[in-house]
């Protein structure tokens, strides 16, 4: 570890945590309908699409609207991927995706996961990226934030049956939040060297007498929404390690900021909407503490070079450079990958498969915590609300009192739904991963032998179920088992979690808002933050400890004892 590396991590967090505050206040105004600068466009959209903006939805209507829109969009993407050779903007004449890969990819982008079992340069056209994938990057992000908004309203209302209007939330978030930031960020990316063109691959005749084909495309715009909407689906196979996606250390800072900032802004927006800012900052603080600890831990582990490689004669400074880019170095690489797994982004600017065992365990652990640090846009917020409800429940058990959160009584129904949503994820990760490792097909997918192979498979199922999308990328995931298995895990991980959460929101919205009494457990102080972090780590993380012991921990001890596989 160097002082420069520490300073870089500090810089990222100052920019993100500072920027999240004004952005959160702005998001609260969007959700409350106070941002109007594109009102004519907004009303035009409603008129054309048959949306009645005044209509308030019950939680059941909200779920139906969300599911229907997602299913329609999933089918459309499947069709685009299967038919891309007949569609425009395909200068490389790329053929159709196979049915199972198209299913996996459609599920992946509908659920904001952006898991990529395909190699973009060879298997997807510019057009399918642009009007297939990139549109999902906007809509799945906006849908996540819309659900977060519905959950926020459950705590602002008292005795109400409704949670707002899904279509209105979706449209406003897209127009006022995602679109302007994406356009500005994309222009900065082009300025720094990210291409934006519809031309076919360029051909260079090098000065040492060879020919180099260079893949280009409309990269910058997709890159910007990829980070800002915590999507993560790279235009290129190498994702944000590719010099066209992330050309300089400055674009790396920008992308790291983009992928974290909404996640931290949403609890601030929540505090503003319930009129109690400290409540929002308690959640923001818990998220930040876990993420900062993860970034420091991964950097510390990764800045020690591989002892076997040092013994073979390479310099110990600056650390493990396998799978990393020189323009980023160690600190900027680990901070990016931990940020992208603490959110559901899953973008990478360096390759986790080649990380030192304990450094690679950090991104895996961040996902296992349930994507709350700060999690995906919207999904991170509503997931941490589930953990907050479980925290007040645990505190309530200690003193034998009915728990309350923000004046709403938390009762058996809410706790059952909260536990259901948490357990669904665990089942997919452990059962899916375990099953894959006893099949010949699953074992054949692994790129590395020994304990690291187990880490690869555990990582794949965790990433899919938690809707992250990053990978220990050596794994060959385009097989029937993993295409269908992980695709299903993504759909359940998204919707089987989201629907119980909306049901909790509906149930809480209908309850009367009680004033705080002397017996109320304060949920805006250090004690609550500590309890919340404890619940996240024990409930989210501990169930994976046996698997983590067999994977990264076993590899760490084997490696430092000089063993290779």
Partner 1 sequence: MIRELRPALSLVVFFTIAMGFFLPAVFTEVAQVIFPFQARGSLITQNGQVVGSAVIGQNFTGPDWFVARPSSLTGTDAKGAAVATPYDASESGASNLAPSSAALLAAVKQRVAAWHNTYGQRPVPADAATSSGSGLDPDISLANARAQAPVVAAARHLPADRVVALVNTMAYLPALGFIGMPNVNVLRLNLALAQMKAGTNSVSSK
Decide: is 241 part of the binding site for partner 1 (CB under 8 A).
yes
Residues 73-112 that bind partner 1 (CB under 8 A): 73, 76
Site string for partner 1, 417-456 (x = CB under 8 A): ------------------------------xxxxxx----
What whole-number distance in Å separates Cα of residue 463 and Cα of residue 206? Answer: 40
CA distances from 398 to 388, 389, 391, 523 (A): 16, 14, 11, 15
Distance CA 493, CA 140 (A): 14
**The one among 440, 517, 518, 564 contacting partner 1 by CB under 8 A:** 564
Distance CA 163, CA 63 (A): 11
- Minimum distance between the CB of residue 131 and partner 1, rounded to whole angstroms? 3
Bridge partners, 218 (sequence order) = 196
Q: Does 243 help bind partner 1 (rule: CB under 8 A)?
A: yes
Candidate residues 208, 400, 440, 518; the one interacting with partner 1 per rule CB under 8 A: 208
In the complex, minimum distance from the CB of residue 348 to partner 1, in angstroms, rounded to a whole number: 8
Residues 158-187 that bind partner 1 (CB under 8 A): 167, 170-171, 174, 179, 183, 186-187
Is 332 a residue that touches partner 1 (CB under 8 A)?
Answer: yes
With respect to partner 1, which residue has the nearer C-beta, 350 or 523?
350
Task: Find out whether 467 and 113 touch, Cβ atoms under 8 Å.
Answer: yes
- Residue ranges of alpha helices (H) inside 38-133 are 39-49, 59-82, 99-110, 120-123, 126-127
411 and 389 Cβ atoms separated by less than 8 Å = no
Site of tokens 């930031």 = 181
Which of positions 533-552 make contact with partner 1 (CB under 8 A)?
A: none
Secondary element (H or E) of residue 196 = none
According to CB under 8 A, which residues from 216 to 235 bind partner 1? Answer: 216, 218, 220-221
Cβ at position 279, least distance to partner 1 in Å? 33
- Given a contact cutoff of 8 angstroms between Cβ atoms, the answer to whether 193 and 244 are in contact is yes
User: Is residue 303 near partner 1 by the rule CB under 8 A?
Assistant: no
Strands, E assignment, 388-470: 404-405, 408-409
Residue selected from 40, 93, 203, 399 as contacting partner 1 according to rule CB under 8 A? 203
* C-alpha span between 110 and 101 (Å, rounded): 14
Hey, what are 276's tokens?
Answer: 């109690």
Cross-strand partners of 58: 162
Please report how close the Cβ of residue 203 comes to partner 1 at its closest, in angstroms.
Answer: 7
Q: Is 319 in the site for partner 1 (CB under 8 A)?
A: yes
Q: Which stretch binds partner 1 (CB under 8 A): 17-25, 288-296, 312-320, 428-436?
A: 312-320
Q: Site map for partner 1, 110-129, x if CB under 8 A?
A: ---------x-xx-------
Chain-centroid distance of CA 470 in Å reads 9
Residues 37-66 close enough to bind partner 1 by CB under 8 A: 45, 48-51, 61, 64-65
Nearest-approach distance from CB 138 to partner 1, in angstroms: 5
């Amino acid at each position: 570890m160097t002082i420069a590396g520490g300073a870089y991590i500090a810089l990222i967090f100052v920019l993100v945590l500072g920027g999240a505050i004004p952005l959160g206040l702005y998001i609260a105004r969007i959700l409350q309908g106070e941002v109007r600068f594109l009102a004519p466009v907004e009303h035009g959209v409603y008129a054309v699409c048959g949306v009645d903006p005044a209509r308030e939805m019950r939680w059941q209507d909200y779920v139906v609207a969300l599911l229907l829109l997602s299913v329609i969009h999933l089918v459309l993407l499947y069709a685009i991927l299967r038919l891309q050779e007949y569609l425009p903007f395909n200068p490389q004449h790329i053929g159709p995706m196979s049915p199972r890969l198209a299913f996996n990819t459609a599920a992946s982008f509908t659920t904001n996961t952006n898991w990529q079992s395909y190699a973009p340069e060879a298997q997807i056209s510019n057009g399918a990226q642009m009007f297939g994938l990139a549109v999902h990057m906007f809509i799945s992000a906006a849908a996540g934030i819309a659900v977060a908004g519905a959950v926020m309203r459950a705590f602002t209302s008292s005795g109400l049956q409704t949670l707002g209007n899904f279509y209105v939330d979706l449209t406003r978030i897209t127009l006022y939040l995602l679109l302007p930031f994406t356009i500005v960020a994309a222009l900065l990316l082009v300025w720094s060297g990210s291409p934006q063109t519809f031309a076919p691959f360029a051909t260079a005749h090098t000065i040492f007498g060879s020919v180099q084909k260079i893949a280009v495309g409309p990269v910058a715009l997709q890159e910007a929404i990829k980070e800002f909407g915590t999507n993560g689906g790279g235009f290129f196979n190498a994702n944000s390690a590719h010099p066209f996606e992330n050309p300089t250390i400055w674009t790396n800072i920008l992308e790291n900021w983009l992928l974290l900032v909404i996640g931290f802004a949403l609890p601030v927006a929540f505090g503003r909407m319930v009129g109690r800012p400290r409540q929002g900052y308690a959640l923001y603080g818990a998220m930040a503490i876990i993420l900062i600890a993860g970034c420091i831990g991964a950097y510390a582990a990764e800045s020690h070079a591989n002892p076997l490689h040092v013994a073979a004669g390479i310099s110990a400074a600056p650390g493990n450079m396998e799978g990393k880019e020189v323009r980023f170095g160690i600190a900027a690489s680990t901070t990016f990958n931990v940020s992208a797994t603490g959110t559901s982004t899953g973008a990478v600017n360096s390759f986790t498969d080649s990380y030192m065992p304990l450094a690679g365990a950090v991104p895996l652990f961040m996902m296992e915590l349930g994507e709350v640090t700060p999690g995906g846009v919207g999904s991170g917020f509503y997931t941490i609300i589930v953990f907050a409800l479980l925290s007040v429940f645990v505190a309530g058990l200690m003193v034998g009192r009915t728990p309350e959160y923000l004046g709403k009584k938390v009762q058996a129904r809410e706790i059952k739904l909260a536990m259901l949503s948490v357990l669904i994820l665990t089942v997919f990760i452990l059962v899916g991963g375990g099953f894959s490792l006893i099949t010949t097909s699953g074992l054949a997918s692994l790129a590395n032998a020994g304990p690291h192979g187990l880490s690869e498979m555990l990582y794949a199922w965790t990433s899919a179920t938690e809707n992250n999308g990053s990978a220990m990328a050596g794994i060959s995931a385009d097989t029937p088992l993993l295409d269908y298995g992980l695709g299903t895990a993504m759909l359940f991980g998204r919707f089987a979690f989201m629907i119980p959460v909306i049901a909790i929101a509906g149930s809480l919205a209908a309850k009367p808002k009680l004033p705080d009494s002397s017996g109320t457990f304060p949920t805006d102080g250090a004690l609550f933050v500590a309890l919340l972090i404890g619940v996240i780590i024990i409930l989210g993380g501990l169930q994976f400890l046996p698997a983590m012991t067999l994977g990264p921990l076993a590899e760490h001890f084997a490696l430092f004892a000089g063993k290779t596989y």
